[in-house]
Amino acid sequence: MMSDDRSEAPPLELFWISGSPYAWRVLLALALKGAPFVSRLLEVSKGELTNAEFLSVNPRGKVPALRDGELTMGESMAIVRYIDRCFPEPPLFGRNHVDEARINQKIDEIENYLVPETGWITRALFVDSVAGRKESLNARAERVRTELQNLESRVNTWLVGDATSAADISLYPIIAALLRAAGKPAATGLDLRLLPFAERYPRLAQWCSRIEALPGFDATYPPHWRE
Q: Are residues 68 and 27 in the same domain?
A: yes
- Choosing from 60, 86, 112, the residue where a domain stops is 86
Residue 226 lies in a domain: no
Question: Domain containing 163 — which CATH number?
Answer: 1.20.1050.10
Residue 91 lies in a domain: no
In which band, very low, low, confident or very high, does the pLDDT at 5 lie, cut at 50, 70 and 90?
Answer: low
Examine the pLDDT at 3 and tell me if it is beyond 50: no
Q: Are residues 102 and 182 in the same domain?
A: yes
Residue 194 lies in a domain: yes
Average pLDDT along the chain: 95
Question: Domain containing 22 — which CATH number?
Answer: 3.40.30.10
Over the stretch 48-99, which tens digit does the pLDDT of each residue have?
999 999 999 999 999 999 999 999 999 999 999 999 999 999 999 999 999 9
Examine the pLDDT at 6 and tell me if it is beyond 90: no
Q: Are residues 13 and 60 in the same domain?
A: yes
First to last CA, the chain: 34
Which residue range(s) make up the domain with 51?
4-86
Query: Per-residue pLDDT averaged across 208-221, rounded?
Result: 97
Angle between the 134-154 and 166-182 helix axes, to the nearest 10 degrees?
Answer: 140
Distance from C-alpha of 38 to C-alpha of 190, rounded to nearest angstrom: 40
The structural domain count of the chain equals: 2
Q: Are residues 121 and 201 in the same domain?
A: yes
Q: Are residues 136 and 206 in the same domain?
A: yes
Distance from C-alpha of 104 to C-alpha of 108, rounded to nearest angstrom: 6
Q: Are residues 68 and 106 in the same domain?
A: no
Residue 143 lies in a domain: yes
- Choosing from 66, 86, 106, the residue where a domain stops is 86
Query: Per-residue pLDDT averaged across 182-187, rounded?
Result: 95
* SS3 per-residue string spanning 111-125: HHHHHHHHHHHHHHH
Examine the pLDDT at 7 and tell me if it is beyond 90: no
Q: Are residues 115 and 141 in the same domain?
A: yes
Examine the pLDDT at 1 and tell me if it is beyond 60: no
Over the stretch 15-53, which tens digit does the pLDDT of each residue have?
999 999 999 999 999 999 999 999 999 999 999 999 999
- Choosing from 86, 121, 146, the residue where a domain stops is 86
Residue 92 lies in a domain: no
pTM recorded for the entire structure: 0.95
Confidence at residue 32, expressed as pLDDT on a 0 to 100 scale:
97
Q: Are residues 81 and 103 in the same domain?
A: no
Residue type, 33: K
Confidence at residue 87, expressed as pLDDT on a 0 to 100 scale:
96
Q: Are residues 132 and 192 in the same domain?
A: yes
Count CB neighbours of 157 within 10 A: 12
In which band, very low, low, confident or very high, does the pLDDT at 215 lie, cut at 50, 70 and 90?
Answer: very high
Q: Are residues 148 and 202 in the same domain?
A: yes
Q: Are residues 103 and 142 in the same domain?
A: yes
Q: Are residues 76 and 149 in the same domain?
A: no
Q: Which residues are within 8 A (CB) of 41 and not within 5 positions of it... i.e. 6 or more apart?
A: 16, 17, 18, 223
Q: Report phi then psi at 95, rounded to 5.
A: -115, 5
Over the stretch 145-174, which tens digit does the pLDDT of each residue have?
999 999 999 999 999 999 999 999 999 999
